[in-house]
Structure 1
Amino acid sequence: MDTRTRALDLARHYLQTLGFNGFSFQTIADSLGIRKASLHYYFASKEDLGIALLEEYRKAYEEWTASVAKLSAHKKLEQMFKIFYKMSLDNNKICPAGGLSADFNSLSAKMKKRLLEFHTIQRNWLIETLTQGVQEKSLKKNLAIEETADLILASIQGGVQIARMRGEAQSFKASSKNLLASISA
């Protein structure tokens, strides 16, 4: 694995366990056993590292949505909840977007813009999936689609944070199951 990839992997780990402001370029350099100046060869700044992370997350998310595109809406939502549950099982990690959102006010304008773009991609996918579910009659017909998309996003972000605080992932699994049941037809 090359140094750039290893640096991104470490940054991803630190973001999901400590938050974006919880680590520095020096933290990553030390973990890699290289000088901080050497890390600047790959990323001009921590902002550039954060933008690279967001780009990777966006790409991975788009690949995931393509992989579940042919599933029913109900199955898509189950799969999404499963991803967050697994994340919570992995050392009580939180969603990268959630980690960045907690540090939103201290992010650069460029990072804020990229994070909002990523959030919009997730929200739009949920709106499409919820609309599909209503059309398939697997979700309640009177569902307020956009508000429910926001409710789901808030629930998964908050759910993994509560699971972290409690030191267990089962609360996330139970709450996501109840959320899906509450919107199902």
Structure 2
Amino acid sequence: MKGSTTVQDILDSAQALVQRQGYNAFAYKDIAQDVGIRGASIHYHFPTKADLGVALVRRYRNVVDVQLEHLNSLPAPEALRRFGRLYQSVTTEDGRVCLNLMLAADLPTLPEPVANELRRSLEAQEAWLEAVMEEGARSNTLTLRTSPREEARSLLALTEGAMLLARVAGDPLRFSAVYDHVLSALIV
């Protein structure tokens, strides 16, 4: 973690922990040990775990937003293919999955500010997918069975669920198989 700021190191460590174990399964001492700092240093930057959680979701959303912006100029089928590849890249051999997925699993016990930030993050992805579905319907490159909004919601749910099942199976490539199968039904 050399060359990065303490805040970035803390966020990187927290993100890896949440992506592997979930929000409720880590403590500041885990981050302190990983980063090589004292717990008080974490509290200096993030007074509460909720503060850390909100910062983590915001950072993740910003990264995803930038990645999705790069896909905006692509035809809808290619944008959806690459959207799937973004998720595939998160599914790793070391057991990490999408941060939003892991936080969603902990939703009933998340602090309200973290839960609200998570909702905003997922709503933004859903809105992006809806816009892609609308473009695909207009250009006759996607076959929608329902409204663009419902197709977007369905694809996001499938994407998150496929990632979880790939994790359970211990096979990151299972995600691609499921995603590609569903995508083939959408693409004209």
- Give TM-score, length-normalised by structure 1: 0.95
Percent identity between matched residues is: 28
Match in the other structure for 2:45: 42
Contact 1:92-1:168 at 8 Å conserved across structures: no
Q: How many Å apart are 1:142 and its aligned residue?
A: 4.6
2:96 to 74, 85, 93: 93
Q: How does 1:149-160 map to 2 (within 5 A)?
A: 149-160=152-163
1:69 aligns with 2:63: no
Match in the other structure for 2:147: 144
C-alpha distance in structure 1 between counterparts of 2:159 and 2:13, whole Å: 23
C-alpha distance in structure 1 between counterparts of 2:146 and 2:113, whole Å: 35
> Aligned to 1:64, what secondary structure does the other structure show?
helix
Contact 1:51-1:114 at 8 Å conserved across structures: yes
Contact 1:94-1:160 at 8 Å conserved across structures: yes
1:11 aligns with 2:4: no
> Aligned to 1:119, what secondary structure does the other structure show?
helix
Q: Which moved more, 1:124-133 or 1:30-39?
A: 30-39
The 4+ residue runs of structure 1 with deviation greater than 6 A are: none
Aligned length: 185
Q: State the AA in 2 paired with 1:108.
A: P
1:78 to 74, 78, 81: 81
1:170 aligns with 2:173: yes
Contact 1:94-1:157 at 8 Å conserved across structures: no
Contact 1:50-1:111 at 8 Å conserved across structures: yes
C-alpha distance in structure 2 between counterparts of 1:70 and 1:147, whole Å: 23
Gaps in structure 1 of 5+ consecutive residues: none
Gaps in structure 2 of 5+ consecutive residues: none
C-alpha distance in structure 1 between counterparts of 2:92 and 2:52, whole Å: 26
Alpha carbons of 1:25 and 1:141: their partners in 2 closer, same or farther (altered >3 Å)? closer
Q: State the AA in 1 paired with 2:10.
A: A
Match in the other structure for 1:122: 125
Deviations 1:19-67 (A, max 9, x none): 1111111111121222211211111111111111111112112211221
